[in-house]
Amino acid sequence: MPVPKILVIEPESCTGCRICELVCSWYHYKEFNPKRSRITVLRNYELGINIPLTCQQCEVPLCEASCPTGAISRDEKTRAMLIDYDKCIGCRLCMVACPFGGTSIDPITLNVIRCDLCDGDPQCAKYCPQEAIRFLPVDMTAILRKKKSTEKIVELSKLILGSGRT
């Protein structure tokens, strides 16, 4: 059985190249279209901050708890929070519930979309030239890195959103 892994995002390493957005849209839709990506780089040029935002695959996922139809559940193999489109009614409560902006709307299908970890091989982590996004084996070091990086994402997001300049 493969070692479980977690996605760790270190925003201080992100240069804002947006390769993660392009490889995500290519993997899922075979087109380079950042608007169809399941990861978005939040940027503030004045402050020099870039934050890759995607589903954090939370241990206690608020998106799952908020879904009135049970359309969101964890994949046992990859540990990704997946959407069952046969059950999804498009209410978007999962978007409201996510504190990390990890859920968005595909502009073509109008479906709610979120990171599915690319079936266990996240392309954003694979192709990030600065290793700002990494897919690490679960151990105490990786868990502590994820905790620290999640706190940093929250801190930087507040700085950007509170500044009134994006």
Closest CA to 123 of 49, 32, 43: 32
pLDDT per residue as tens digits for the range 40-58: 999 999 999 999 999 999 9
CB of 57 closer than 8 Å to CB of 6: yes
Residue ranges covered by each domain of the chain: 5-163
- Residues 95-118: tens digit of each pLDDT: 999 988 899 999 999 999 999 999
Lowest-confidence segment of 62-66, 102-106, 124-128, 144-148 by average pLDDT: 144-148
d(CA 88, CA 69): 7
Average pLDDT of the chain is 93
Residue 43 pairs in a beta bridge with 50
Topology of domain 5-163 in CATH is Alpha-Beta Plaits (3.30.70)
SS (H, E, C) 26-91: HHHHCCCCHHHCCCEEEEECCCCEEEEECCCCCCCCHHHHHCCCCCEEECCCCCCEEECCCCCCCC
